[in-house]
Chains A and B, each alone.
Chain A
């Protein structure tokens, strides 16, 4: 196994997955607490649109999917505020429009649909060093954001109106959270694919919530489980020769079942 790690693509995959595994579940906590689960469907479809655009225009799909998701989030946030509609609801509209645009690009630019849909299962082993640095920088940014704004985030997650009345700029904080979620989903899709990103994004906070008594406990628990799933799943995939994303998701699911049964007892 150590011989495999000496191969640059595999080493890069492990580094990125470890960083993502520890930090990305933080946004899973955000998604749960702000009831933004539908938002992640919009972002998944946005990533497919980004992939289709990148292939059609022959530009970098990694950065394009991130850019498309950020644009979608800006539109979603503006419409949610001006139309006074829940962000989760309005994201359904953007989900539909982005997938329709994706197929228009695929059709008009003769993009092979199969290539676009590779985003659904991701590819961990074709990352450039720029992308590795990009993911690493984002992981640091995410952890830093959580640490610096921990008190404000706690208030926001407890009760948005109480956060507002205690002087916290909950509007800006909310949109910062949504932006971070958008980038996380785009990156997680690139790493382990749309179909399995919940294993790294949502299962860690769900398991952490079984025992957490505070936001700190939730964040640390999620980071711990995310790290275990990503690194453990990665090593497992090498050991038994299965796709990394599948082994991560399988490991997360087994741990979830065990923890759930233990909790019931």
Chain B
């Protein structure tokens, strides 16, 4: 059987894949990472490549390749990045919707993130709200609200105080009763399996910031592991990994109540990572932060959206700060997202 992708090093085949679309290249990425192989010594043979595949090949660090059927749109990408390439057949474009979605304005890193999300290779889960209504004490807070967020997408919900931003997040969490339907990935919020699945959403809110409970930073992160039963070594590894990822491992033994607002936010995000949640809901994360804390959080959220790429919904009323995040932003007004 002829493979769809073959990679050789010194004329010896080290990797093959029979998958379709961009999956062979993502499999190759895993293979290279797993085996710590330097990509610049490799030669890649692919059946078909368009602009999307070209971006991925460049991102992976491959320097030489042969493509059997090559789209003309891939050529500028290869040329701009100094890739040595040959081909059997050249076509105007290939019939692939993904190729049309990669714009010239996208950097290779942006294109890579976009393709990862499209391939479902991100931590994030899709969030879908259909006709959601929330009423509290007879007052309609959320009115037939619809929202469709793809895997790994980010959304900022802004609006004046009291417009129902927090209520919306609490409805998504299943903490506030609602009418309509909310789906997280394949699960319905409040459905039969929800109890088992609700750890797929991680929540950062401000009440915990004020906690004076005697608990160390490491223990707060460990809360993310919930009811998972694992060995002490595994637990320590997961906590350390999450804390290193958010740059707060040095705070491991410090009392949580003694930390600054910015440090507490890092701990909260490490807890969410430790939870391995697909959706992060962040309620006014800048509330207790000074200017430096806000800038640090900005960088951290940007990094998370590029690497683990959880689906994130952030609620804030600080317009100046949220503009810098460069995420999709919608206003909650009159119970609906405008």
- Which residues in A have some Cβ–Cβ distance to B below 8 Å? 33, 151-152, 154-155, 157-159, 161-169, 209, 212-215, 217-218
Contact = CB atoms under 8 A, between A and B. Distances in A.
Nearest to A152: B227
Contact of A165 (B202, B211, B214, B222): B202
B214 A217 contact: yes
B224 A166 contact: yes
B203 interface: yes
Contacts of A164: 173, 175, 198
Contacts of B224: 166
Contact of A159 (B198, B201, B208): B208
14 contacts: A33-B213, A151-B225, A161-B173, A161-B203, A161-B207, A165-B199, A165-B275, A166-B224, A166-B225, A167-B198, A167-B226, A169-B227, A214-B216, A217-B214
Interface string B250-265: 0000010000000000
A213 to B, nearest CB: 5
A124 B195 CA distance: 45
B101 interface: no
B219 interface: yes
A88 B265 CA distance: 31
Given A169-B195, A213-B255, A214-B219, A159 B211 contact: yes
Contacts of A168: 226-227
A36 B205 CA distance: 23
Contacts of B198: 164-165, 167
A167 B214 contact: no
A154 B222 CA distance: 10
Given A159-B208, A161-B175, A161-B203, A212 B226 contact: no
Contacts of B275: 165-166
B147 interface: no
Nearest to B229: A151
B299 interface: no
A168 B228 CA distance: 10
B210 to A, nearest CB: 10
A213 B223 contact: no
Contacts of A152: 227
B220 interface: yes
Most B C-beta atoms less than 10 A away, residue of A157, A162, A213, A214: A162
Nearest to B207: A159
Contacts of A214: 214-216, 219
B75 to A, nearest CB: 48
Interface of B: 173, 175, 195-196, 198-199, 201-203, 205, 207-208, 211, 213-216, 219-220, 222-227, 255, 271, 275
Nearest to A166: B226
Given A158-B208, A162-B208, A165-B201, A151 B214 contact: no
B199 A158 contact: no
B220 A158 contact: yes
B199 to A, nearest CB: 3
Given A162-B203, A214-B214, 18 more contacts: A151-B222, A152-B227, A154-B219, A158-B208, A161-B173, A161-B175, A162-B205, A162-B271, A164-B175, A165-B198, A165-B199, A165-B203, A166-B275, A167-B199, A169-B227, A213-B255, A214-B216, A215-B214
A161 B169 CA distance: 12
A166 B207 contact: no
Contact of A158 (B175, B223, B225): B223
A259 to B, nearest CB: 16
A158 B227 contact: no
Nearest to B197: A167
Contacts of B271: 162, 166
B314 to A, nearest CB: 16
A163 B214 contact: no
> Which 9 A-B residue pairings sit nearest by Cβ, starting from the closest?
A167-B199, A167-B226, A166-B226, A159-B208, A155-B223, A165-B203, A212-B214, A213-B255, A158-B213
Contact of B173 (A33, A163, A165): A165
Contact of B213 (A157, A165, A167, A169): A157
B161 to A, nearest CB: 20
A209 B226 contact: no
B203 A158 contact: no
A158 B215 contact: yes
Nearest to A163: B223
B233 to A, nearest CB: 16
Most B C-beta atoms less than 10 A away, residue of A151, A152, A169: A151
Given A154-B215, A218-B214, A161 B223 contact: no
A168 B224 CA distance: 10
A159 B214 CA distance: 12
Contacts of A169: 195, 227
B215 A215 contact: yes
Nearest to B213: A158
Most B C-beta atoms less than 10 A away, residue of A33, A155, A165, A168: A165
B201 to A, nearest CB: 6
A86 B207 CA distance: 17
Contacts of A163: 223
